[in-house]
A and B are shown apart, each in its own frame.
Chain A
């Protein structure tokens, strides 16, 4: 095992995770309750409490390349049980976003599903399940995953062949356009986020006792 230089902690990374998630990471005292309750832990490379520790230690590459951040189901059991009221699932989500921006591959199947979902909402104003599944299957080659469910779901209207034509599709598309334009300027987004959330982070830090 390698020796980790503590002075090599990436302080900017720690700060960015705090800003994006709005959580004060120093509140984590490593009790392990997030790991204890996590139903997806068996799929992880690092348990979530160790991921929190890696973030505290500023291990950017390790965190953003972790399988854990992609396999998290965002069930929020960790956030619910945290004795320090840290939204752990929110921290993991922030890491997932940062991994995307950093151009990390992530776990291909999971990332592909997310991308397909977002694209579907962009095009139709809401998820079009059939199209989204088709895209997911086509891109991942997993043609038989859950196909057995289709005969049950189709007659109940759970999956529609054609997309629903909802109101406000154009407005949703507009949100995506604005995001893409803003997102091109990574620095602007970061400073805007910082300006919005710094208060939360500062407030979370400053109180004695409980926030």
Chain B
């Protein structure tokens, strides 16, 4: 082999603490190296051109670049050697930036280590072989998990581009958190008026199949060809017959059931259509409230239903679907604020969450849009808003800013004045965070025009006094304790990853952070990709965000899926496992450890053997490490290649 070595300075990133010229000089003496040089920026256009020139001039058959992490530029250099006519796998990279120059200051030691890493790369490259990718067809269908505003946007955009879309929503209706909101900031336009048409579009779009009251049970396969199992949970109502007439909900005797859509602010029936604009507008039985399931005696809804849709014996259904790409848009939930004993821990009926307050403000809510205290139904005169409940608070392990509470609190203070012109709002805040278009003007308007009193400080105690609540906090700008009498206290409760988010992440084989939010591929450059090919993110499941950002990310995720599925064939990575049938003894250990079910039993001349399903193998190498015979080898990372690296390092 004729090997060329290129040592990158990366400006002063590497050259600052590594003698690149010396490394190049040492590399010239390594076996098979016929050309060695140092270069200012290997990834720059002249840098790449120099590599291509050298390949042609010195008839190189292999190239080593010692520079940064392969995560960033391995694809760059592979393309460069390919342009010069070499197979892209006759290229090796030595990481002398992240692994050397950025982590040590000793020039001599760094130079030595860099030379060692180059020596290892050369030793491996000598055993590299040409590998060629295979092509496989893609399924032009996308799965969208979650029917909130982000998922809806992603689904509509993908469907409009001609892709088939399968949407899975855990709740009986799509719409997510946005459907529960009364108005949106900073325009104070009606939330369901702008979301409603989008929800209808989802229902009516010929390319979209909606599975509501369903959850993703399992995901297998790989980019372009995922196999998804969906569990359609039993609602005890046959939705193919249900017309959404609502007769059952009127006649249901269990009228005091917990109203999930209204966040417990009112009561509803046990058979329920979540809200008037629900999509799909179908009834479903909440078994924990239903008299028939609790006492065995009732059955009113089955008798009254004009289409005979109620079926108490209905079971969960399992549906399988093949998709090429997946968009996770599972949103968020509110954190459990009852850990705050100082705010009553849930014991005072007139201390409510911001989402509950939205339902009180909403015309489709339990009070028909009249703001009434939950305890006695009186109109509140003094409303106190407390921000950062469960945000920026290490004592409850929620150190992050939820990002939208400042804005929705300002909106709710405005709406309070609109609903109750004689009322006075007080807002306890720590810092007002309003970095959006028209956002800061909005928080000024609530103070200047709507006369909400903003108090900079946290609240330490809420306690009942007669039929009112006393709120004791601090005004840090005055530097004093303050107290205010409240009829209603609204907690701006922060968000957290949706219930069960980590569990779903494991099914999708994507990573999640310490708080359960899904990890994007790169915090800046890959905001909607994940590290699993074919799986994309949209909305608050990646990190809390407001409606405009969620919609933007929904569209971005759709664009990525459309791009991926615009191709008829996808290239498979040739860095996969291969079986040497002569050595294989058919013990099957590899089959049991393979996390992708990519290995299957076979037979050769009456002897048990295994074979790799090439399109399924992800090249993780677990089988390689497990095989007692060394019969199954991961291409490009064979035992011999790795041993060559070890030997190059341990030659003294």
**Residues of A at under 8 Å CB distance from B?**
27, 29-38, 41-42, 46-47, 49-50, 77, 81-85, 209-211
- Report which of B430, B460, B475 forms a contact with A77, defined as CB distance below 8 A: B460
Docked CA distance A37–B514 (Å): 31
Asked whether, in the complex, the Cβ of A35 is within 8 Å of the Cβ of B397, the reply is no
Asked whether, in the complex, the Cβ of B394 is within 8 Å of the Cβ of A32, the reply is no
Q: Is B473 an interface residue (CB 8 A)?
A: yes
**Residues of B at under 8 Å CB distance from A?**
342, 388, 392-397, 399, 430, 456-461, 472-476, 479-482, 514
Asked whether, in the complex, the Cβ of B474 is within 8 Å of the Cβ of A35, the reply is yes
Asked whether, in the complex, the Cβ of B394 is within 8 Å of the Cβ of A85, the reply is yes
Asked whether, in the complex, the Cβ of B479 is within 8 Å of the Cβ of A82, the reply is no
Asked whether, in the complex, the Cβ of A46 is within 8 Å of the Cβ of B430, the reply is no
Residues of B within 8 A of A37 (CB): 342, 460-461, 472
Give 13 A-B contacts (CB < 8 Å), ordered by A residue: A32-B474, A32-B476, A35-B457, A35-B479, A36-B457, A36-B459, A36-B461, A37-B460, A83-B392, A83-B396, A85-B395, A209-B394, A210-B394
Residues of B within 8 A of A30 (CB): 476
Give the distance to chain B from A151, nearest Cβ to Cβ, in Å.
35
Q: A81-B460, A209-B514, A210-B399 are in contact. Are A35 and B476 (CB under 8 A)?
A: yes
Asked whether, in the complex, the Cβ of A36 is within 8 Å of the Cβ of B460, the reply is yes
Asked whether, in the complex, the Cβ of A33 is within 8 Å of the Cβ of B392, the reply is no
Q: A47-B481, A209-B514 are in contact. Are A31 and B457 (CB under 8 A)?
A: yes
Asked whether, in the complex, the Cβ of A36 is within 8 Å of the Cβ of B472, the reply is yes
Docked CA distance A210–B399 (Å): 6
Beyond known contacts A83-B395, A85-B394: 8 more, CB 8 A cutoff: A27-B394, A32-B456, A33-B460, A34-B474, A35-B474, A41-B481, A49-B476, A50-B479
Q: A38-B481, A47-B474, A47-B479 are in contact. Are A32 and B397 (CB under 8 A)?
A: no
Give the distance to chain A from B339, nearest Cβ to Cβ, in Å.
12
Residues of B within 8 A of A85 (CB): 394-395
Asked whether, in the complex, the Cβ of A210 is within 8 Å of the Cβ of B457, the reply is no
Q: A77-B460, A81-B342, A210-B399 are in contact. Are A36 and B394 (CB under 8 A)?
A: no
Give the distance to chain A from B429, nearest Cβ to Cβ, in Å.
10
Q: A83-B394, A83-B395, A85-B394 are in contact. Are A31 and B476 (CB under 8 A)?
A: yes
- Report which of A32, A42, A50 forms a contact with B458, defined as CB distance below 8 A: A32
Instruction: Give 5 closest A-B pairs by Cβ, nearest first.
Output: A37-B460, A32-B474, A36-B460, A32-B457, A36-B474
Asked whether, in the complex, the Cβ of B473 is within 8 Å of the Cβ of A36, the reply is yes
Name which residue of chain A comes closest to B482, CB basis: A36
Residues of A within 8 A of B394 (CB): 27, 83-85, 209-211
Asked whether, in the complex, the Cβ of B458 is within 8 Å of the Cβ of A33, the reply is yes
- Report which of B342, B396, B459, B479 forms a contact with A46, defined as CB distance below 8 A: B479
Docked CA distance A52–B460 (Å): 17
Residues of A within 8 A of B475 (CB): 32
Asked whether, in the complex, the Cβ of A47 is within 8 Å of the Cβ of B480, the reply is yes
Give the distance to chain B from A43, nearest Cβ to Cβ, in Å.
12
Residues of A within 8 A of B473 (CB): 32, 36
Give the distance to chain A from B470, nearest Cβ to Cβ, in Å.
12
Residues of A within 8 A of B456 (CB): 32
Asked whether, in the complex, the Cβ of A36 is within 8 Å of the Cβ of B479, the reply is no
Residues of B within 8 A of A32 (CB): 456-458, 473-476
Asked whether, in the complex, the Cβ of B514 is within 8 Å of the Cβ of A36, the reply is no
Give the distance to chain B from A9, nearest Cβ to Cβ, in Å.
20
Docked CA distance A27–B392 (Å): 12
Asked whether, in the complex, the Cβ of A83 is within 8 Å of the Cβ of B393, the reply is yes
Give the distance to chain B from A205, nearest Cβ to Cβ, in Å.
13
Asked whether, in the complex, the Cβ of A209 is within 8 Å of the Cβ of B474, the reply is no
Asked whether, in the complex, the Cβ of A49 is within 8 Å of the Cβ of B474, the reply is yes
Give the distance to chain A from B306, nearest Cβ to Cβ, in Å.
56
Residues of B within 8 A of A34 (CB): 474
Residues of B within 8 A of A42 (CB): 481
Give the distance to chain B from A79, nearest Cβ to Cβ, in Å.
10
Give the distance to chain A from B349, nearest Cβ to Cβ, in Å.
23
Give the distance to chain A from B513, nearest Cβ to Cβ, in Å.
10
Q: A29-B430, A49-B474, A209-B399 are in contact. Are A35 and B481 (CB under 8 A)?
A: yes
Give the distance to chain A from B99, nearest Cβ to Cβ, in Å.
22
Asked whether, in the complex, the Cβ of A33 is within 8 Å of the Cβ of B474, the reply is yes
Give the distance to chain B from A7, nearest Cβ to Cβ, in Å.
24
Asked whether, in the complex, the Cβ of A36 is within 8 Å of the Cβ of B430, the reply is no
Residues of A within 8 A of B395 (CB): 81-85
Docked CA distance A112–B545 (Å): 56
Name which residue of chain A comes closest to B340, CB basis: A81
Residues of A within 8 A of B472 (CB): 36-37
Give the distance to chain A from B463, nearest Cβ to Cβ, in Å.
12
Docked CA distance A46–B481 (Å): 11
Q: Which of B388, B392, B393, B397 has the most CB of A within 10 A?
A: B393
Docked CA distance A136–B178 (Å): 65
Give the distance to chain A from B239, nearest Cβ to Cβ, in Å.
44
Give the distance to chain A from B345, nearest Cβ to Cβ, in Å.
14
Name which residue of chain B comes closest to A210, CB basis: B394
Docked CA distance A49–B430 (Å): 13
Q: A47-B474, A209-B399, A209-B514 are in contact. Are A35 and B392 (CB under 8 A)?
A: no
Residues of A within 8 A of B459 (CB): 33, 36
Docked CA distance A29–B430 (Å): 9
Residues of A within 8 A of B460 (CB): 33, 36-37, 77, 81
Name which residue of chain A comes closest to B342, CB basis: A81
Docked CA distance A77–B393 (Å): 16
Docked CA distance A47–B397 (Å): 27
Q: Which of B388, B475, B480 has the most CB of A within 10 A?
A: B480
Give the distance to chain A from B469, nearest Cβ to Cβ, in Å.
15
Give the distance to chain A from B516, nearest Cβ to Cβ, in Å.
14
Name which residue of chain A comes closest to B483, CB basis: A36
Asked whether, in the complex, the Cβ of A31 is within 8 Å of the Cβ of B430, the reply is yes
Residues of A within 8 A of B396 (CB): 83
Docked CA distance A38–B474 (Å): 10
Give the distance to chain B from A58, nearest Cβ to Cβ, in Å.
19
Docked CA distance A211–B457 (Å): 23
Name which residue of chain A comes closest to B514, CB basis: A209
Residues of B within 8 A of A49 (CB): 474, 476, 479
Docked CA distance A31–B460 (Å): 11
Docked CA distance A42–B480 (Å): 9
Asked whether, in the complex, the Cβ of B481 is within 8 Å of the Cβ of A83, the reply is no
Residues of A within 8 A of B482 (CB): 36
Give the distance to chain B from A37, nearest Cβ to Cβ, in Å.
3
Docked CA distance A32–B457 (Å): 5
Give the distance to chain B from A210, nearest Cβ to Cβ, in Å.
4
